Structure 1
Amino acid sequence: MHPLRRTSPLRRIVLASAATVTGTVMLLSLKPHTAPSLAAGAPAPSGSGAASASSGSDGSNGSRASTGAKAVTGNSVQTRWGPVQVRVTVTSGRITDVTAVDYPRDNPRDQEINSYALPQLRREVLATQSADIDTVSGASYTSEGYRQSLQSALDSAGL
């Protein structure tokens, strides 16, 4: 008799294993549906004027000099879930604003994660005045891309 005859337990085991592997592969290749894009939660940079041409010594503790804000966009960093790109606004050598220009938002889960991660990352950058920020729990790929793009923007701004 053939080992894979109709009533053989080996046949059932082989078929069940094949069905399990096929189902697992199909689930892993499944992409979630794309919902309509929500309005971005991050505000547009407010001070994107041109930097002033005057170059003097840094006058901290002095009166407010008329130095312009300089907006610099960092490199786009490709993460597992999509590109992340950050724009930083620098005024008088201080980071005054950080905006996520591009970030994963293709599906509702991306939107949910980034709705809490991006404001938290922004607050931390403004508090530390550097790219030395902590990773947001649940948004590790976005946090790392944000950090890398921010560092490239700060390097371009000369900070």
Structure 2
Amino acid sequence: MKRALLIAGGTVGGLGAVLMITPPNLSKTTLIAIDTAAPAPSAKPTAAAPTVAPAKPVGGVTGSFTGDPVTMRYGIVQVKITVENGKITDAQAVQAPSGSNDRYTQKAVPVLRQQTIAIQSANVQGVSGASFTSYGWYESLASAIAKAGL
């Protein structure tokens, strides 16, 4: 009985440690607003003014946009994206952790760059061994994408 309690306690403690270190879920949530004050539809059709979508620039956004620097446990992460016609064509680390963590950074940044270009959003997967750098990349990338208006 004592052994079972020690095993269960160790498992719960280990799980707690993993959840504490792992960055939060990076997926987006979409909220839909429901207008409860809208009148009920009538049986008679009425002429309504046509709705016009906001104008977007022809061809999309083009330029370079630098995200906010994010201070993480092992250093600062800052991402710069290059956008052509509304598509992310490149992503570079302007700042990334170095020193004793340089080997993890050197492995993580190319993977995060490839993911960014492939999925065209900030919803990148974390890189094993570089959780803090991955989360910093996500935060800085999200701010760069917001600055680009994508």
TM-score category, normalised to shorter length: 0.5 to 0.7
Match of 1:142 in 2: 133
Q: How many residues align?
A: 95
Match of 1:70 in 2: 63
The answer as to 2:129 corresponding to 1:131 is no
Q: Any idea what the Cα deviations from partners look like across 1:56-79, whole Å, max 9, x if unmatched?
A: 434xxxxxxxx8840000000010
Q: Which has the higher contact order (CA 8 A, sep 6+)?
A: 2
1:148 Cα shift? 0.3
Match of 1:91 among 68, 81, 84: 84
* Distance in 2 between residues matched to 1:158 and 1:68, nearest whole Å: 8
Letter in 2 for 1:118: V
Match of 1:82 in 2: 75
The answer as to 2:120 corresponding to 1:122 is no
Gaps of 5+ in 2: 1-55
Give the TM-score, by structure 1 length: 0.57
1:15-26 equivalent positions in 2, closer than 5 A = none
Give the TM-score, by structure 2 length: 0.60
Letter in 2 for 1:114: T
Corresponding residue SS for 1:138: coil
- Aligned CA RMSD, in angstroms, stands at 1.6
Who wins on radius of gyration, i.e. which is larger?
A: 1
Question: Aligned in 2, Cα 1:72/1:56: closer, same or farther, shift over 3 Å?
Answer: closer
Percent of aligned positions that are identical: 42
